[in-house]
Amino acid sequence: AQKVTQAQTEISVVEKEDVTLDCVYETRDTTYYLFWYKQPPSGELVFLIRRNSFDEQNEISGRYSWNFQKSTSSFNFTITASQVVDSAVYFCALSEAENAGNNRKLIWGLGTSLAVNP
Amino acid sequence: KAGVTQTPRYLIKTRGQQVTLSCSPISGHRSVSWYQQTPGQGLQFLFEYFSETQRNKGNFPGRFSGRQFSNSRSEMNVSTLELGDSALYLCASSLAGAVSGNTIYFGEGSWLTVV
């Protein structure tokens, strides 16, 4: 069965520290998509990145970077030089591709709550 | 372009009542999904609608229902409210659904409190 595990429930860092949020997934599909979302206290889930299973290149966007490793089924997210505004809950999610049958949906991890303290 | 709009943002209901939540997806998006989020359970998938048809459904009782209109706007209804239904209800829209690889975009959610 598909599964997404975010083992870190809560992380607390001091501003300017680097922090890595872990995401490990399980799937039998060869084609799938992985996502990261950020949920600030306001509640809205903000899309951060989408990665398909055939693209293992690491991605960097400003202070954010993602390390996708199929060999370990991981899609980790690193924030460099963290800021107070990065405080939020971060979710990792896994999506099956079209040929997965009728029972298809986005599978979510339980989220990692990140607190960046000044 | 405008994002996903959910109304109302906050509401308080009494046990036994029913509630209807509304979601307007991003223009051009045909897939709308609903999620329930509670502190203990995380994000739980309720259902997905695509072109007015329910395409997928989560493991929720029949008290939870939804529909989608021809303009892709969607509503979800919860009847006979229970205290445990208190949660943040999130609506998400995408072109054709996340399972197609499309990115899904969320609204700000509707905070429901049942007393």
Token couple for A74: 């991981």
B111 touches chain A (CB under 8 A): yes
- pLDDT at position A102: 54
Q: Tell if the CB–CB gap between A108 and B42 is shorter than 8 Å.
A: yes
Token couple for B14: 């009494």
CA distance linking residue B50 with residue A59, whole number of Å: 31
Over chain B, what is the mean pLDDT?
A: 93
- pLDDT at position A106: 84
Contacts of A52 in chain B (CB under 8 A): 101
Regions in chain A scoring below 50 on pLDDT? none
- pLDDT at position B39: 81
Contacts of B113 in chain A (CB under 8 A): none
**pLDDT per position as a tens digit, A82-103:** 999 999 999 999 987 655 555 5
B107 touches chain A (CB under 8 A): yes
Q: Of residues A30 and B88, which shows the higher confidence score?
A: B88
Q: What is the 3-state secondary structure (H, E, C) of B45-66?
A: EEEEEECCEEEEECCCCCCEEE
Residue in chain A lying closest to B88 (CA): A43
Which of B88, B103, B107 lies at the smallest CB-CB distance from A50?
B103
Q: Tell if the CB–CB gap between A35 and B98 is shorter than 8 Å.
A: yes
CA distance linking residue B72 with residue B63, whole number of Å: 22
Which of B99, B108, B111 lies at the smallest CB-CB distance from A95?
B99
Residue in chain A lying closest to B108 (CA): A44
Angle of CA points A79, A88, A76, to nearest 5°: 40
Q: What percent of chain B has pLDDT over 90?
A: 81
**pLDDT per position as a tens digit, B8-52:** 999 999 999 999 999 999 999 999 999 999 987 788 999 999 999
Strands lying side by side in the sheet with B74-78: B5-7, B19-24, B74-78, B64-68
Which of B56, B90, B106 lies at the smallest CB-CB distance from A105?
B56
B29 contacts B86 by C-beta, under 8 angstroms: no
Instruction: Give residues with Cβ within 8 angstroms of A59, minimum separation 6.
Output: A49, A51, A65, A66, A68
User: Is a pLDDT exceeding 60 seen at residue B86?
Assistant: yes
A16 touches chain B (CB under 8 A): no
- pLDDT at position A2: 80
- pLDDT at position A101: 58
Q: Tell if the CB–CB gap between A108 and B107 is shorter than 8 Å.
A: no
